[in-house]
Amino acid sequence: MNRTISGVPAKNQALVTWVEDMATLCQPDAIHWCDGSPTEYAHLLRGMVHSGTAMWLDDQKRPNSVLVRSDPGDVARVEDRTFICSPTQDDAGPTNNWKAPDEMHGILDGLYEGCMRGRTLYVIPYSMGPVGSPIARIGIELTDSLYVVANMHTMTRVGTRVLDVMGQSTDFVRGLHSVGVPLTGTEADAPWPCNPTHKYITHFPATREIRSFGSGYGGNALLGKKCHALRIASVQARDEGWLAEHMLILKLTSPEGTVKYITGAFPSACGKTNLAMLIPTIPGWKVETIGDDIAWMKFGADGRLWAINPEAGFFGVAPGTSMKSNPNALLSAARNSIFTNCAMTLDGDVWWEQMTDEEPPVLTDWIRRPWRPGCGRPAANPNARFTTPAHQCPVIAPEWEDPRGVPISAMLFGGRRPTVVPLVCEAFNWRHGVFLGSIMSSETTAAAAGAVGQLRFDPFAMLPFCGYHMGDYFGHWLSMTGRTSPSMMPRLYYVNWFRKGDDGKFLWPGYGENSRVLEWIFRRCDGTADAVDTPIGRLPRPSDLNTEGLDLPRDALVELLRVDASGWLATVEQIERHYARFGSRLPTVLREELAALVTRLRGVSR
């Protein structure tokens, strides 16, 4: 078949052959090689508006921005349709869906056959990380979705400059994505095409391939993000001795002008983007953003661990984002942004729950219906998003694109724990910190009087994102100490902004006040803040935290820093059950850490 080819095709032979093979399978009418230029981006937005996928927002209120409403059945990552197709099920481990690679390829090849008829196949060469950085990696996504191409423009570095760095290398991640809706007749395209019955988000770690079919949304379709930068990269990191993590990266500057970089792993919906862009309440301190979702870290020649943000934009959850909760995120999305599944105001702007104190009197909701306050439905989908270039963030650190990355002093782990877990706790050492990361959890139900809530474990916030057996992943973390001297390793902390009092209210104000915890961590790394050894780790006493100007009763602070020995002991059985899932692949060291914790706790609760 004679296909039109546009854009700037690669000279890389392996790439050209692969694109031809995939085009033979999917049978698109045309192929476009993306150059990554602003002209191309403008063309993509116009194309989305023309096809009915997007609407322009008012150019005075949100310059160069569009609103997209997805199919109501395609609004989030689909974990039950996500597969790790490693050679054996044991390699994927108990936390991933698995199918044998040949079997999955068989299923997918049947679905991909002719799936792009009537459409254009876009070839997106992208770099995760600054182009040419020694930590960055290249991927190629093939897709038939204009929405995906436009989002990838913002979320990654796209285009000819990536092909230039690639040369004739065959070392790139191959991603194929289709919405799975061929256009065969004269019927009009849907505003948001997606396959109603077949959805597959699949990964082949051994061959560094991603195949995604049927969904056009977020992490299912923007393959650079969760699929490449976490699931495939975690396997590469294991094989090559580095870390690919679900972590924010922030820069913290003290009043004396000293800088430290901190990463943080938190499950979805625990305020990661807010922490990455936090405005400190303590005078003289400054937080700047390097990244809000993913960190790739490698040891440098100096023995320190250096991190880059592999992404170039934010794909942030909109609801809850306001000038109070995160002004920097809202200001980042002031222009040049794609909004997905938000509500629209009468004057052509977007709105979502909690964006403003007062709800607008009338809106069009995310499924295009009239909406009024009190009508009983949310105006925006709870997973509505903004896609925004990171450089538009008012507090983006000037070095956020430094190809060397930034050296990491401390790492945070956190979850939502209304009970038991204190505000902050420093690990005794690396292996104790890995233990804390491995038992990260949130409570699914509030604790009843005297009982402990059910824990949902999300180790290192990687449960949906680790591309191999999680027992081996813990072992990989433990092996990091062998790569440098102990004094060079980042310090590890378990933080919890969500502890509640007996009245069910949060004890800690959170948001900008979290800077007080960051200050203590900063000073610990410098050796200038005190801590006390407790059975669970090293904790600040109330007097070790900077509480100047903090409107918090002393009792609340005492409770926030109390070691609830019986509460911890009551969770041990759940931790044991969580560990049992990993069988013989759970490192013995972690069982030893758990046993040592129990011994220390029994010592104090006797």
Q: Which is nearer to ligand OXD, 219 or 537 (CB)?
A: 219
Cβ at position 554, least distance to ligand OXD in Å: 36
Tokens 């060291």, residue located: 589
Residue whose beta carbon is closest to ligand OXD: 268
- Residue by residue, DSSP assigns 234-270 as HHHHHHHT-EEESEEEEEEE-TT--EEEEEEE--TTS
Q: Which is nearer to ligand OXD, 258 or 268 (CB)?
A: 268
Closest CA to 201 of 107, 315, 77: 77
Q: Which does 170 bind (CB under 5 to 8 A by kind): ligand OXD, Mn ion, none?
A: none
Interface with ligand OXD: number of residues (CB under 6 A): 4
Q: Show the binding pattern over residues 178-217: x = contacts ligand OXD (CB under 6 A), - = does not.
A: ----------------------------------------
Closest CA to 497 of 571, 560, 564, 567: 560
Tokens 């040369």, residue located: 167
Q: Are 178 and 143 in contact (CB under 8 A)?
A: yes
Q: Which does 251 bind (CB under 5 to 8 A by kind): Mn ion, ligand OXD, none?
A: none
Q: Show the binding pattern over residues 236-275: x = contacts ligand OXD (CB under 6 A), - = does not.
A: --------------------------------x-------
Q: Which is nearer to Mn ion, 293 or 519 (CB)?
A: 293
Cβ at position 387, least distance to ligand OXD in Å: 11
Q: Which is nearer to ligand OXD, 246 or 523 (CB)?
A: 246
Q: Which is nearer to ligand OXD, 237 or 478 (CB)?
A: 237
CA dihedral 590, 595, 598, 602 (to 10 degrees): -160
Cβ at position 267, least distance to ligand OXD in Å: 7
Q: Which does 74 bind (CB under 5 to 8 A by kind): ligand OXD, Mn ion, none?
A: none
**Per-residue tokens: 384:** 């509505």
Q: Which is nearer to Mn ion, 177 or 246 (CB)?
A: 246
Cβ at position 105, least distance to ligand OXD in Å: 27
Cβ at position 312, least distance to Mn ion in Å: 15
Q: Show the binding pattern over residues 74-93: x = contacts ligand OXD (CB under 6 A), - = does not.
A: ---x----------------
Q: Are 453 and 547 in contact (CB under 8 A)?
A: no
Closest CA to 225 of 200, 203, 198, 253: 203
Tokens 């909701």, residue located: 365
Sheet holding 338-340, edge to edge: 54-56, 66-68, 338-340, 385-389, 313-317
Sheet holding 350-351, edge to edge: 350-351, 343-345, 363-364, 370-371
Q: Which does 144 bind (CB under 5 to 8 A by kind): Mn ion, ligand OXD, none?
A: none
Q: Which is nearer to ligand OXD, 293 or 472 (CB)?
A: 293
* Cβ neighbours for 496, distance < 8 A, ≥ 6 positions apart: 414, 415, 416, 417, 421, 422, 423, 424
Kindly give the pairing relationship between strand 537-539 and strand 200-204.
unpaired
Q: What does the chain come to in residues?
A: 606
Q: What is the distance of C-alpha 81 from the center of its chain?
A: 18
Kindly give the pairing relationship between strand 305-308 and strand 295-299.
antiparallel
Q: Which of 26, 34, 270, 425 is catalytic?
A: 270
Q: Which is nearer to Mn ion, 316 or 360 (CB)?
A: 316
Q: Are 405 and 247 in contact (CB under 8 A)?
A: no
Cβ at position 293, least distance to ligand OXD in Å: 5
Cβ at position 541, least distance to ligand OXD in Å: 34
Interface with Mn ion: number of residues (CB under 5 A): 1
Query: Catalytic site residue 26?
Result: no
Cβ at position 522, least distance to Mn ion in Å: 25
Helices and strands counted in the chain (H then E): 16, 31
Tokens 């095409």, residue located: 193
Q: Which listed residue (219, 389, 407, 535) binds ligand OXD by CB under 6 A?
A: 219
Q: Which does 566 bind (CB under 5 to 8 A by kind): ligand OXD, Mn ion, none?
A: none
User: Residue 458 interacts with Mn ion (CB under 5 A)?
Assistant: no
Q: Which listed residue (288, 293, 353, 472) binds ligand OXD by CB under 6 A?
A: 293
Instruction: Say which amino acid occupies 552.
Output: L
Cβ at position 218, least distance to ligand OXD in Å: 6
Q: Which does 219 bind (CB under 5 to 8 A by kind): Mn ion, ligand OXD, none?
A: ligand OXD
Query: Which DSSP letter does residue 90 get?
Result: H
* Cβ neighbours for 271, distance < 8 A, ≥ 6 positions apart: 497, 510
Cβ at position 245, least distance to Mn ion in Å: 11
Q: Which is nearer to ligand OXD, 268 or 356 (CB)?
A: 268
Q: Which does 174 bind (CB under 5 to 8 A by kind): Mn ion, ligand OXD, none?
A: none
Distance (Å, whole) CA 247 – CA 4: 42
Residue whose beta carbon is closest to Mn ion: 293
Q: Which does 209 bind (CB under 5 to 8 A by kind): Mn ion, ligand OXD, none?
A: none
Three-state secondary structure call for residue 206: helix
Distance (Å, whole) CA 248 – CA 269: 13
Q: Where in 275-334 is the site for Mn ion (CB under 5 A)?
A: 293
Tokens 């996504």, residue located: 141
**Per-residue tokens: 493:** 């902390």
Instruction: Say which amino acid occupies 347.
Output: D
In the complex, the residues that contact ligand OXD under the rule CB under 6 A are: 77, 219, 268, 293
In the complex, the residues that contact Mn ion under the rule CB under 5 A are: 293
Catalytic residues: 270
